[in-house]
Amino acid sequence: MNNDYQNTQTDMELENMRQQMNTLKKKLEQQEIVNDQMIRRSMKKNADTITRRYYMLMVIGLLMVPYGYWAFVKLSNFSVAFWIGTSILMLICTGATYYNMQHNLSDSNMMRNNLVEVRRKMARAKKFDADWLFFGIPAILLWFAWFVYEVNQSMGDCTNALFWGGCVGGIIGAIIGFKIHFKTQRQYQEIIDQIEDITAGE
């Protein structure tokens, strides 16, 4: 009789422990889902910020084509060839930005997709953005050398003003450009790190 009672008590204790374990497991699963959703929202926010920044850069690049004609040809008497070269450079920059955004960021289901694939796209976008400096820096230096040549050829009363204005503008532009570049790189890395946090326990 005592044995039956003890066995019943043991079975009840085991069942209670099983229920508690199941309850704990469900809570942990719910917490994991909440954490996953929070991290995915943070990733989406970073990706959307980068996309908006890319759109802004593309708009500036396109507007530089008509503005460049007015500023360089009409206002400063630079050669049409310089304006064409500047326009081509701006269009190449705009096209490269669009390519990176379209192939790696413009996916409406990106944050619901397989995280390994999302990480691969983010890493590819980050690398493309970093590798772009290998073209961008030499191209800008060549453009600036051409700008100095055009300033000397213009022989106008405002030659010195044009030169120093170009130098100051170039320095400010470089500072802003590098600031944007490093901020974008940091946000790409944040997305990659967040994905690794999610997938580490899988």
Confidence (pLDDT) at 8: 62
Rounded to an integer, the average pLDDT of 19-46 is 67
Dist. CA 70–CA 161, nearest whole Å: 17
Q: Which of 133, 165, 146 is nearest to 88 (CA)?
A: 146
Cβ pair 138, 197 in contact under 8 A: no
Q: Tokens at residue 28, please?
A: 């942990």
Q: What mean pLDDT comes out for the span 89-110?
A: 84
Closest CA to 107 of 177, 115, 53: 115
Half-sphere exposure of 160 (CA within 13 A, CB side): 1
The answer to whether residue 12 sits within a structural domain is: no
Q: Has residue 133 been placed in a domain?
A: yes
Tell me the average pLDDT across 11-26: 65
Per the domain annotation, does 24 fall within a domain? no
Average pLDDT over residues 152-178: 77
Average confidence (pLDDT) over 109-124: 77
pLDDT on residue 158: 61
Domain count, the chain: 1
Assess if residue 23 is contained within a domain.
no
Tell whether 140 is covered by a domain.
yes
Range of the domain at 101: 41-199
Least confident of 42-51, 58-67, 136-145, 183-192: 42-51
Q: Is residue 5 part of a domain?
A: no
Instruction: Confirm whether 158 is domain-assigned.
Output: yes
Asked if residue 52 belongs to a domain, the reply is: yes
